Amino acid sequence: MARSLTLWFIWLSFIICVLFFAPPLQPDTLQPLQSLLAGQIPSINPVILSLFSLVGIWLLIYSCLIFADGRMQSLPAWMFMLASVASGVIALIPYLALRRPNRSFSGEKDPWIAVLDSQMTGVILTTSTIVLVLYAVLWGDWAAFAQEFMTNRFIYGMTIAFCLFCVLFPYPTLLQDDMARRGLETDSQLFNIAAWVPLFGPLAYLCLRPSLLAFRFGNQAMSNR
């Protein structure tokens, strides 16, 4: 109960922050997004472009846990994640608040869950993240980004959302439940890496965690001996 109330408080606080404390709406507030959709990549500050892309990386990281978790929930996980593509944490937090702790997984993996469950997906996401971070660090205009953060509501909200993705990953039982499904509930070292190393910790977890199917069959094989 306390977990859910805290998540709803964070969700409401984020909405209030963006609506009432973010920089005011300006005619060019969505200019970075419009430039991106128009394919005008060179005109976008690499920091902003990387941040926008890393929000997408975060949604995929959460998807790698949520779609398997959703198999055992009454909630339609796909609906929340689809809404998150447009709204980010505004749609993600309600799923985290409404889901029930569950450490089981039953049935066969469908093709989408199989892709999200693959360690190769973790490797691809990690490689993409390294490229994006280097792009922002080496070629980004950080002073211009700071100015955009203070004057552009879209950039302000996106930055806060990125920070919330990092903060929320270890808080709900989503990570603990996923580890338990794979027989990793006693691996405190892996949990600490995934929980407390921002962005790259969760990526390392996706690269290292065993497959759901392999773990289940392994248990069955051992019990038949």
CA distance 11 to 214: 36
> End-to-end distance of the chain based on CA atoms, in angstroms?
42
pLDDT digits (tens, 9 = 90+) for 135-164: 999 999 999 999 999 999 999 999 999 999
pLDDT digits (tens, 9 = 90+) for 12-60: 999 999 999 999 888 777 788 888 878 788 889 999 999 999 999 999 9
pLDDT digits (tens, 9 = 90+) for 108-140: 899 999 999 999 999 999 999 999 999 999 999
CA distance 219 to 67: 22
Nearest to 113 by CA among 212, 15, 8: 212
Q: Which long-range contacts (CB under 8 A, 24 or more apart) does 16-24 make?
A: 17/160, 18/153, 18/156, 18/157, 18/160, 22/153, 22/156, 22/157, 23/150, 23/151, 23/152, 23/153, 23/156, 24/153
CA distance 84 to 131: 24
CA distance 88 to 164: 10
Using an 8 Å Cβ cutoff, are 211 and 117 in contact?
A: yes
DSSP structural state of residue 30: T
pLDDT digits (tens, 9 = 90+) for 74-108: 989 999 999 999 899 999 999 999 999 999 898 88
